[in-house]
Structure formats: structure tokens, C-alpha cells
């Protein structure tokens, strides 16, 4: 068993080629189907980066999921054949890691969600479609695929693609992952390979772990806050036209959070908006219009945001501990 040793001092996030300005906001997801035939997506995900004033400074098609690691934006493409994890940049795309991700020949693997697991690692929710299987992958720049854990079977998870789990996030240790099911916010210790008790019995389409160990959870117009033990604390109603909460991100100021609001109607052409809120009071401090309508699998991240530069560091893997 691999044990991940935690370092108690905060590590500065390294800067890679293609870093975006501190505090930049990235959104990603699938636009509405052009003919609204399926009510799902157009088949091609898009990613945009905005500055703090809402001006789009970068656009890219292709990443299935994105997150911020330090100041960098990491994207995941289809993980079969030539796919993998990449650091996105305005002028070029570079591999997140040059180390192998393990045998994948003959499989079709899609990254459904990404979240940082410390200052130099990502935690990915991956679906292996041949046969259908959900897995958590812990990938570091230095060592490649460090951990690969099959998600325990649950009767409240629809394993069918395209989106069996709406959102994931990791705590500051990088070991405890929170994920949404059809009825709860569940937890899993990827380091010990142990399923934990549910964090809260509530449905959510977006979650984000807070610096104090608590959690924000959004669904519809309701953004709820829980303490570190899963006790409900408060909620705020975010009304923004015919839009609902699609994704969350903690700002570079950990007292603030960005909320991506998407249309509640999959056939609607309404573009998504970004709300900057005060976490304690729920007050809306800023509202930005985006250039894209994001309906399916919306994601948001902030370059240099609190959760993207966590204090975790990982030792090299043992030979028999990868799977």
C-alpha cells in the first residue's frame, strides 16, 4: 500500500510554461446541442479563460475536463492512445507529466472531472467504458500515475456515460475525495483505498471544499454551506434569470467563491454567467457575462486559487503499489 506523507508547510506552486495571470478564471463544458435533439451536448467541449474583468483571453476546444494546479490550467483529453493530461497555454500545450500513465491499450477512458490534489498533482475521475468502470486516478508531475482506485459500487450512481458523477473535489491532504451521487455527497480515501461514510445526504451538481474543511454545495438556485463534519450551516438563493448553479471554485481570496450559472433549459441559448460571492454572507460582489453557453459537465477553476496550491507532497510510488 502506498502511504502519502504530508508536509506541514505550504509549498509554493511551481510555474510552468503557459501559466495564465494570477486570478484568471477558466470555464469548460459542452454547449447546448445545436438542434436540441438530445438535450445533452454538441459533442465538442470548449474551454475559455477570462481575466478578472470578464474579458476572454484564451479559448480552446477539446479538453474533456480542466482544473487549476497552481497558476497553471491542466486539461484532460480522452485517455486512450495519445490522450492524457496537459498544461494548457496561450502559445502551446505541454504534457503535465512525462511519466507513463499505465497500460491503456484497447480501452476507451474518458476523464469526467479533475481537481487539484496539492500543488503539483491532479485527481481525476475516469470512466473506463470497456467494461464500464469508474476509477479515481492520482497523477503527479514527477511520478505520473501514482494511484489508480476503482470506485466502490453504489446503487445511487448511474455508471452510464456521459456524466455519472456531476462533481468531485479533494481535501487539503489530497487523500479524501468528495463526489456527488444521486442522493448524497459521498467520500472516498484514495490513499487508503477505503470508502468513508457519506458527508451529507443531499443532492448537488457542484461542490467545493473550503479552507476550514467545510464544503459548499450547489443545486438549482441554492448554494448551501456545511461544516467539516457535514452539518448544514446556511444557504443562499442565487437568482440569475433562467440559470442554475453548474460549478464552483474558490477564489485567490479564500473568503470568496466563483459560481458558474448555466441555463436551466438545455435547449436555451442563454449564455452562462459568473458570480463572485462572499462565502460568509452570500452577497454577490460581481457578475460577469461569458461568451459561451455551458450546459453539460460545466467546470470552473481559478489560476492560483486556494485549493489549487494545497500543502500536499507525494513520495515516489513503490513498484507494486500503482494499481
What rounded mean pLDDT belongs to the chain? 80
Write out the three cell numbers for 187.
Answer: 467520500
The radius of gyration of the chain's CA atoms, rounded to the nearest angstrom, is 18
* Cell 496539492, residue located: 118
What is the reported pLDDT for 130? 66
Identify which has the larger pLDDT, 222 or 95: 222
Per-residue confidence band for 174, with pLDDT thresholds at 50, 70 and 90: confident
Q: Long-range CB contacts (< 8 A, 24+ apart) of 259-265? A: 259/206, 259/218, 259/223, 259/300, 260/27, 260/206, 260/294, 260/298, 260/299, 260/300, 262/29, 262/293, 262/294, 262/295, 262/298, 263/32, 263/293, 263/295, 264/220
What is the reported pLDDT for 108? 63
* pLDDT, tens digit, 9 for 90 and up, residues 208-263: 999 899 999 999 999 999 999 999 999 999 988 889 999 999 999 999 999 999 88
pLDDT at 307 over 60: no
Per-residue confidence band for 305, with pLDDT thresholds at 50, 70 and 90: confident
Least confident range of 40-44, 116-120, 318-322: 318-322
Per-residue confidence band for 31, with pLDDT thresholds at 50, 70 and 90: confident
Parallel, antiparallel or unpaired: strands 256-263 and 273-278: antiparallel
What is the reported pLDDT for 245? 94
Q: Could you tell me the domains of the chain?
A: 25-309 (2.120.10.30)
What is the reported pLDDT for 43? 63
Per-residue confidence band for 84, with pLDDT thresholds at 50, 70 and 90: confident
pLDDT at 188 over 80: yes
**Residue 13 · residue 309 · CB < 8 Å:** yes
Say what percent of the chain tops pLDDT 90: 36
Per-residue confidence band for 51, with pLDDT thresholds at 50, 70 and 90: very high
Residue 79's DSSP bridge partners are none
312: Cα separation from own chain's centroid = 17
Euclidean distance between CA atoms 258 and 248, whole angstroms: 6
Per-residue confidence band for 11, with pLDDT thresholds at 50, 70 and 90: very low
Per-residue confidence band for 194, with pLDDT thresholds at 50, 70 and 90: very high
Amino acid at each position: 500500500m502506498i502511504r502519502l506523507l504530508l508536509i506541514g508547510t505550504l509549498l509554493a506552486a511551481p510555474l510552468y510554461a503557459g501559466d495564465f495571470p494570477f486570478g484568471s478564471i477558466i470555464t469548460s463544458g459542452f454547449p447546448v446541442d445545436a438542434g436540441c435533439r438530445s438535450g445533452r451536448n454538441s459533442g465538442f467541449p470548449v474551454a475559455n479563460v477570462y481575466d478578472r474583468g470578464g474579458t476572454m483571453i484564451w479559448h480552446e476546444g477539446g479538453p474533456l475536463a480542466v482544473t487549476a494546479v497552481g497558476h497553471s490550467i491542466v486539461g484532460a483529453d480522452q485517455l486512450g492512445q495519445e490522450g492524457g493530461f496537459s498544461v494548457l497555454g496561450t502559445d502551446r500545450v505541454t504534457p503535465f507529466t512525462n511519466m507513463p500513465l499505465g497500460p491503456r491499450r484497447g480501452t476507451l477512458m474518458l476523464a469526467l472531472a479533475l481537481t487539484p490534489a496539492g500543488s503539483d498533482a491532479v485527481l481525476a475521475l475516469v470512466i473506463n467504458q470497456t467494461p464500464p468502470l469508474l476509477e479515481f486516478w492520482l497523477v503527479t508531475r514527477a511520478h505520473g500515475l501514482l494511484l489508480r482506485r476503482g470506485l466502490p459500487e453504489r446503487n445511487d450512481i448511474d455508471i452510464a456515460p456521459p456524466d455519472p458523477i456531476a462533481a468531485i473535489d479533494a481535501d487539503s491532504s489530497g487523500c479524501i475525495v468528495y463526489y456527488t451521487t444521486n442522493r448524497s455527497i459521498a467520500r472516498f480515501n484514495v490513499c487508503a483505498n477505503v470508502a468513508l461514510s457519506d458527508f451529507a445526504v443531499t443532492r448537488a451538481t457542484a461542490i467545493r471544499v473550503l479552507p476550514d474543511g467545510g464544503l459548499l454545495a450547489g443545486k438549482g438556485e441554492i448554494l448551501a454551506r456545511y461544516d467539516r463534519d457535514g452539518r448544514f450551516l446556511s444557504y443562499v438563493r442565487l437568482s440569475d434569470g433562467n440559470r442554475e448553479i453548474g460549478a464552483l471554485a474558490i477564489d485567490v481570496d479564500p473568503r470568496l467563491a466563483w459560481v458558474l450559472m448555466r441555463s436551466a433549459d438545455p435547449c436555451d441559448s442563454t449564455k452562462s454567467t459568473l458570480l463572485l460571492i462572499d462565502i460568509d454572507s452570500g452577497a454577490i460582489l460581481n457578475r460577469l457575462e461569458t461568451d459561451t453557453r455551458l450546459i453539460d459537465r460545466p467546470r470552473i477553476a481559478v489560476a492560483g486559487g486556494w485549493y489549487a496550491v494545497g500543502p500536499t507532497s507525494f513520495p515516489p510510488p513503490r513498484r507494486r503499489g500503482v494499481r
